[in-house]
Amino acid sequence: MENRNRLPIGIELVKRGLISEDDVNKAIEYQKSNPGKKLGDIIKILHLCDEYKLIEAIGDILGEKAIILSKADISINITDYISLDVAKQCMAIPFEISNGRIKVCFADTSNKKSTDIVRLLLLNKGLIMDKYITFASDMEDIFESLEGKATDKIEEGRDVTSLIDNIIKTAMSKRASDIHIEPQENNIRVRYRIDGVLLTVATLSKEKQNQIIGRLKAISNMHQEKQESQDGRILLYPDYNIRVSSQKNVYGEKFVLRLLKRKSDILTLKQLGFPNSDEEAMKIFDRKNTITIVAAPTGEGKTTTLYSIIDMLNKAEVNITTIEDPVEIRIAGLNQIEVDPKASFSDSLRTVLRQDPDTILVGEIRDLETAEIAMQSGQTGHYVLSTIHTMDAVEVITRLRKLGISNYDIGSTLGLSVSQRLVRRICPKCAHEREFTKDEIEIINKIGEKYNVKFDLSNKKTFTSVGCEHCDHTGFYGRVAVFELLDMTEDLREMVINDESTIEIRKKAIELGYKPLVVDGIQKVIDGITTLQELNKKLLIY
């Protein structure tokens, strides 16, 4: 990590008061028997200085952006951008991509040859590289995991039947929501989605490809001969309903298996991450003659939140009917209807209205017809809950307008819109307490000023992910939702009916107390539930 145009790193760190001269001598002694190690890494290995303060200081000394890089921080598949050989040769790890820019960590940013190799490779892919510096020892740990240390539970076995069974059962034990089995040019890649992140867990022999495809089709009740897209189900595992999708690609047929537990405990809203108490949540969601919409992109937990709301409202004196595609969790006391392939949400909703419902859950508003009937239901004495695909609570208004719902119907019927994102929880078994950096405090204070919120940073402590056996060395275990609520006040209803833009509606909502997703997210960072980096991946706050 040293830069020859500056004083040696050791002297710089002593001048800054981070280590003593005795510490430098200890590091130099260690270096004599480990000549390949740089002084910054040795100081970290010997625990002579807090590693967060150390990397921050090294970055400042070298004039580079610096971070502690863990496997959990890598949100992309490294080998999609540079080969593992090049990554190891240049000691470089791409870890995040956004808006045509890709962040890459180096162990030595002063090695121009290495940085140029990586920069040009990425430029050829149309990406601009942003350099970061980190510890070589952390990068070596990541390289080891990429070479297969995390895949020891999956073995190819003697036959394809036991191999597929092993892949599925291992996914269940690791809390995976999805399994991706993907033919590549020279092998078959197996990835699990755990806590929303895809992780490569095995690379299988290309020679087994036809056998694997045949076995998956057989247990999913798919046509063996067809290579077009197919949908199926695996019902071999008593605790799981596994939905299977196949899609032909240039190297064969890719399969995605969605693992759905047959009996899942319904979490309370508070357990999901809702900022209000369960009693306050009941007051917020127990409504009549209106519609509540939960909004978020795909895969952000909308349906889970709906289940929690409906479970909270479930009482013997209330007739609750749900229309779902499919019914993922069965709840006692509800009338749950699964959408038939021959009947749409709107068809099912018309029938339900003749069944004397008090509360209706419509799995998703996908089209104008469903939206119109849902709105009419809310206007005629029913309480309707549904989801919609859009970015935040205010944009629900835009989405309904684009579907063709009139401003009057939106303004008079929409009572509450909720938006959410899922971020990973720091593993409680290996969470590492540290102080907020100056940059982090500045980011938090700027957000507080923007939305007129005073965040309490008096403790100035946060937690970061480390990695242990409990969390499979990711540093995270489970996910928590970040929420925002838009309660349609009379002022906001009038603005919608008068066709005012969502920009103006958002401004007024903030004046009235609306807090965007980032506010709840920052509070969860301060409370030590997640990290600022995790929040940034979802909300791009810096």
The alpha-helical segments, DSSP class H, found in 63-197 are: 84-90, 112-123, 136-146, 160-173
Rounded to an integer, the average pLDDT of 346-351 is 85
Q: Please name the amino acid found at residue 78.
A: I
What are the pLDDT digits (tens) for 484-500? 999 999 999 999 999 99
Beta strands in 50-118, from DSSP E residues, in sequence order: 65-66, 92-98, 101-106
The DSSP call for residue 437 is: P
- Return the bridge partners of 480, or none: 423
What are the pLDDT digits (tens) for 370-385? 899 999 999 988 999 9
What are the pLDDT digits (tens) for 402-420? 999 999 999 999 999 999 9
- pLDDT of 535 reads 93
The backbone torsions φ and ψ at residue 223, rounded to the nearest 5 degrees and listed phi first, read: -75, 125
- Domain extents in the chain: 9-145, 149-261, 269-539
- d(CA 50, CA 43) in angstroms, rounded, equals 9
CA distances from 401 to 99, 124, 136, 405 (A): 28, 41, 52, 5
- Return the bridge partners of 288, or none: none
Fold category of 149-261 in CATH: Beta-Lactamase (3.30.450)
Confidence of residue 3 (pLDDT cuts 50, 70, 90): very low
- d(CA 366, CA 22) in angstroms, rounded, equals 67
Rounded to an integer, the average pLDDT of 65-79 is 86
4 has a pLDDT exceeding 50: no
As a whole number, the mean pLDDT across the chain is: 89
Confidence of residue 365 (pLDDT cuts 50, 70, 90): very high
Confidence of residue 197 (pLDDT cuts 50, 70, 90): confident
- pLDDT of 199 reads 85
Fold category of 269-539 in CATH: Rossmann fold (3.40.50)
The backbone torsions φ and ψ at residue 91, rounded to the nearest 5 degrees and listed phi first, read: 45, 60
pLDDT higher at 344 or 335:
335
- CA torsion through residues 451, 452, 453, 458, sign: positive
- pLDDT of 23 reads 87
- pLDDT of 462 reads 85
- d(CA 441, CA 458) in angstroms, rounded, equals 11
The backbone torsions φ and ψ at residue 254, rounded to the nearest 5 degrees and listed phi first, read: -90, 140
Q: Decide which of 3.40.190.10, 3.30.300.160, 3.90.180.10, 1.10.260.40 is the CATH code for 9-145.
A: 3.30.300.160
What are the pLDDT digits (tens) for 137-191? 889 888 876 654 444 567 666 689 999 999 999 999 999 999 999 999 999 999 9
- pLDDT of 157 reads 63
For 411: left if phi > 0, alpha if psi spans -120 to 50, otherwise beta; the answer is: alpha
Rounded to an integer, the average pLDDT of 508-537 is 94
